[in-house]
A and B are shown apart, each in its own frame.
Chain A
Amino acid sequence: MDTTSPRLRMSLLGVVVVACFVALFARLWYLQVMEAPALAVQATANRTRTIATEAPRGRIFDSKGRVIVDNRTSLIVSIDRNALKKVKNRDDLIARLADVLTANGAPIKISTIEKRLADKKADQLQAVPIASDVTEEVIHHLSEYAEDFPSVSYERKTVRVYPYGMAASNVLGYTGRITAETLKSLEPGSDPDGVVKTYQPDSIIGLAGVESTYEKELRGTPGIELVQVDSKNRPVGTESYQPPKSGNDIQLHLDIDVQIRAEQALADRLAVLRGTAQKDGTKRGAPAGSVVVLDPRDGGVVALASQPAYDPQEFANGISQERYLQLQNINGASALIDRSISGQYAPGSTFKLVTATAALSNGLIDGNSSIYDDGVYKVGNPAQEFKNAGDQKNGNINVVRALTVSSDVYFYWLGDRMDGTTLIQDSASAFGFDKKTGIDLPNESAGYVLTKAEKKALHNKYPDAYPNGDWYTGDNVQLAVGQNVVVATPLQIARAYAAFANGGTVYQPHVVWKILKPNSTPTNPNDVIRVIDPVVTGTVTLPPDVRGPIESGLEGVTSGMGTAASAFTGFDLTAFPVVGKTGTAQVDGKADTSLFASYGPANSPKWVVTAVMEESGFGAEASGEVSRHIYELLANQALTGAGSATTGTRD
């Protein structure tokens, strides 16, 4: 056979060509028929981008329906730092951006942009906000010339507005961008309530205060837009759109008037005292303090002031690292700590409520049991001396008088007699000390009231911090006057006095009162989704023979020979009787912690006011004064009826 025959060779060529076409058909069938569904999924992912629009967060109202946290829209221009690294003429781009911003009503310097880009605190994975509240013109320009601005993005964000400025910042908290870890922990499926709402890497989340604890209510459902993009990632159309849904509004027990008064009185008094000397000559640092105003009838938090304070507005568009550090040191104290719930202080004489209750209810004394107070109480052999503050001698006194004039000797005696028992600790526990109150705010401290066993355990665990593991009579004596072995948060002290005021019911303090529908009118009952009911966490048994003598003793504090009389000079106690107890807790090497725990009006208590001020001196001169200023407002509300909430369910 002639293998060079053109016919044969042509047939061979034909076979090759046919084979090629068969291969093409086979592959075409595979791609367009067999693999098409799988490849189509890839293709869709390829040409669409999901754009989440943050929904406006719910608003926050005070107890009288006033908006204390609101929203507004802000246009924000950001730069993606990772994308910026790949931009060829980086400096040109930044100069161009500065020009556009400046020319369109949002002046900015190149150096400012560089500074924001260099901020180490900003999340490395996310775009850094360069300018906020820019004009619509800027956005128009950037979208029109998108190709000239690689790595630059812009967005419309609703940001928080605080009509009352810094007021209640410690309660309200602030919002900020979600961190990478938080985002991971919130991945769908990890939420036991099954109400996970989509978080995006740049989502805003509540980071402190009510914004944080009620995140689920306040955060809306983001709008999801599926945008079709071309190969250069420019949007060309919308495939689907689900509009954002606002979060629920919430209403607080908080009364913004009382809150502002408490903050103002506290700040003013701290400023007056700062740098002056207390009686023993120690200079008052007066760096910080807090005030708690509770409604003893249900545990509602009417005010929660902490100084120093921060302006939540500073967090609304992202805060600089520099400023953040600054806020952690204002007169030596951090503004980012809510002292009313996180601060732990020796309660000092305010703790005598607990000791007196323990002694009276266990029959150690009755209202008339008296001893002679010569200013000193001796314990043990060789004798250890415990003295009254200022070496005051009170003469023959019973428990009523001892509370009014704050005789330490009388309570040293009670402490001595109860040594070897846990009567004081038990009473403290009944009043809610030694454990968290369960308030609906983050970062609450628990305080402690040590027992013999606990002291031993602490010593064993931390021998350096607690060098002595034995329980001495002196410890019980100190415990009786709220020193050394006991610390409490201002909120715990307030709650104890609230329990005493209402006859023995210990409530879980609550900031939030109601959950309302989005865009609600707080006065409209139809807008209420649910009311947060008061939670009773325990009771203190206070029969008349226990409560009576203590009440009489505390009633005397604000007048006559009472330790807080000076603070209430000129206050109309007949119209609005205030019952309270001063406290002056010693702190080694520093001025005393000034405390005042109180409630009023005495006959039907509506408010508990507790003030605690660091390095500020005697109870009356600092905390008593602050409380008096608050009571002036409260008395006015009570007498004019201005205090009743709009929905009227509080009385």
Chain B
Amino acid sequence: MLPQSISSRASNRSRRDPTAPLRHLDPVLLGCVVILSIVGLVAVYSATRGPGPDFSKSYLVKQTIFMVIGAGAFGVFAAVDYRKLHDWAWVFYGITTFLLVLVVSPFGSQSHGAQSWFALGPFQLQPAEFSKLSLIGALAFLLSEFRGDIDLRRLVGLLATAGLPMALIMLQPDLGETLILVAISMAILLVGGLPTKYIAVLTIVGVIGVVGALNSPLLAEYQRNRLTAFVNPDDKSNAALYNIEQSQQAIANGRITGQGLFDGPQTKLGFVPEQQTDFIFTAVAEQFGFIGSATVLLLYGLLCYRIWRIAQVAKDSFGTYICIGVLAMFAFSAFENVGMAMGIMPVTGIPLLLISAGGSSTITALAALGLVLNVHMRRFQ
């Protein structure tokens, strides 16, 4: 009787334990992720099915597979206690850094003038995407160890940790991904207690660096044109403007209520380049109008708010920093990607997370959100 009673009590306890992780799922976050992922699948299909009558489903099928794999990653990264991951942060960082070195070696493959991926049969693996998450882990680890006590030596260590993957990605070169890493690093360093004077210095150095890079031979002419096109929208000699013009026309064409699913002529006829990835927002905006695209932006905003909220309620600073990193990753990606499509940000190819087609970015995004949920679920343990 006793053993039974003990075991029964134990099981009872587990069922009633108010700190049990499964009791603290975040339904708002989950809802946003599910809806945005579905919107993404629809947008990718509409942008890639072609004018018909033989509609192509290859992108839809691939993206669905990525979503499924991503859902698995989400589950794993949510299930395993994030504090155990604390010890693994450097392993992830090491693996992705090694892959970043490997990708610029002859093992990597090129497209659009950047050597950024490995060919794995029909799929492409982009280590830069994964490095976002591993950098979040590494910086969160360091800052949680430093506990706000950051001297110059530690700062150099932090900057070196952040700078290594950035430098390797610039070798590909992929400016967009680098900028995301910058955003992530800045956000984590900010919240991680970097003294204000260092922040001021870093900001100044950053501004000088950007201006210098734009005027240096480091960037190819076409890159410079793409980056500055949004500043001079009437410069007809700038070929990069064509893309921005097309994408803005497509967005405008959505009007308030949108052209309707599969009825956006600019989308359907392929006027907007890279529409399943960099310019996916135009497909959403043309087909679903202001109502639809504003809803998508609101969902993004809500998602960011939840991540920010979780950062605040996290049980430890490691969890907070992870959430802040993921927040920066989502917010900056959305701002840069959507801003570029609407002509208020420079043209750099980065995905709109959860919506743009792409395996590495989708899986990384879902894994990152899994980690955030992880932090939320274990905030009382």
A residues neighboring B (CB under 8 Å): 3-4, 6-7, 9-10, 12-14, 17, 20-21, 23-25, 27-29, 31-33, 35-36, 39-40, 42-43, 46-47, 228-232, 236
Contacts and interface: CB of A to CB of B under 8 A. Distances in A.
B98 interface: no
B285 A28 contact: yes
A233 to B, nearest CB: 10
Given A4-B193, A27-B344, A28-B285, A10 B308 contact: yes
Nearest to A38: B252
Contacts of A3: 196
Q: Which 3 A-B pairs have the closest CB atoms?
A: A39-B252, A230-B269, A43-B249
Given A24-B339, A230-B269, A32 B289 contact: yes
A289 B13 CA distance: 123
Q: Which of A6, A31, A42 has the most CB of B within 10 A?
A: A31
Q: Is the interface of B mostly helix, strand, loop or mixed?
A: helix
Given A32-B289, A46-B271, A231-B270, A17 B327 contact: yes
B251 interface: yes
B297 A6 contact: no
A236 B268 CA distance: 10
A10 B293 contact: no
Interface residues of B, number: 51
B324 interface: yes
Interface in B145-202: 148, 187, 190-196
A230 B271 contact: yes
9 contacts: A10-B324, A13-B190, A24-B335, A28-B290, A31-B252, A32-B252, A33-B290, A39-B252, A229-B269
A236 B53 CA distance: 11
Contacts of B312: 7, 10
B266 A43 contact: yes
B51 interface: yes
B300 interface: yes
B304 interface: yes
Interface of B: 51, 148, 187, 190-196, 245-246, 248-256, 265-266, 269-271, 285, 289-290, 293-294, 297, 300-301, 304, 308, 311-312, 317, 320, 324, 327-328, 331, 334-335, 338-339, 342-344
A308 B342 CA distance: 68
A32 B254 contact: yes
A3 to B, nearest CB: 5
Given A13-B191, A28-B338, 12 more contacts: A13-B327, A17-B308, A21-B331, A21-B335, A23-B344, A32-B254, A36-B252, A42-B245, A43-B250, A43-B252, A231-B246, A231-B271
A537 B83 CA distance: 111
Contacts of A17: 304, 308, 327, 331
Contact of A21 (B195, B252, B301): B301
B297 A21 contact: yes
A10 B311 contact: yes
A54 B294 CA distance: 47
A23 B271 contact: no
Contacts of B304: 17, 21
Given A28-B293, A228-B269, A230-B51, A36 B253 contact: yes
A39 B249 contact: yes
Contacts of B245: 42
Contacts of A31: 248, 251-252, 285, 342
Contact of B255 (A14, A24, A32, A231): A32
Nearest to B197: A3
B320 A46 contact: no
A43 to B, nearest CB: 4
B297 A28 contact: yes
Contacts of A7: 312
Contacts of A29: 290
A208 B210 CA distance: 67
Q: Which of B252, B253, B271, B328 has the most CB of A within 10 A?
A: B252
A230 B300 CA distance: 32
Q: Which of A6, A14, A40 has the most CB of B within 10 A?
A: A6
Nearest to A230: B269
Given A3-B196, A24-B342, A27-B344, A9 B191 contact: yes
B154 to A, nearest CB: 14
Contact of A4 (B194, B334, B335): B194
B186 to A, nearest CB: 9
Contact of A40 (B195, B252, B271): B252
B256 A32 contact: yes
Contacts of B343: 27
Contacts of B271: 46-47, 230-231
A32 to B, nearest CB: 4
A12 B190 contact: yes
A232 B324 contact: no
Contacts of A232: 270
A230 B245 CA distance: 16
Contacts of B324: 10, 13
B282 to A, nearest CB: 10
Contacts of B193: 4, 6, 9
A3 B301 CA distance: 26
A29 B251 CA distance: 10
Nearest to B320: A6
Contacts of B194: 4
A6 B270 CA distance: 46
Contacts of A229: 269
Q: Which of B193, B195, B285, B289 has the most CB of A within 10 A?
A: B193
Contacts of B190: 9, 12-13
Nearest to A36: B252
Nearest to A20: B335
B122 to A, nearest CB: 25
Contacts of B253: 36, 39-40, 43
A38 to B, nearest CB: 8
Q: Which of A3, A7, A36 has the most CB of B within 10 A?
A: A36
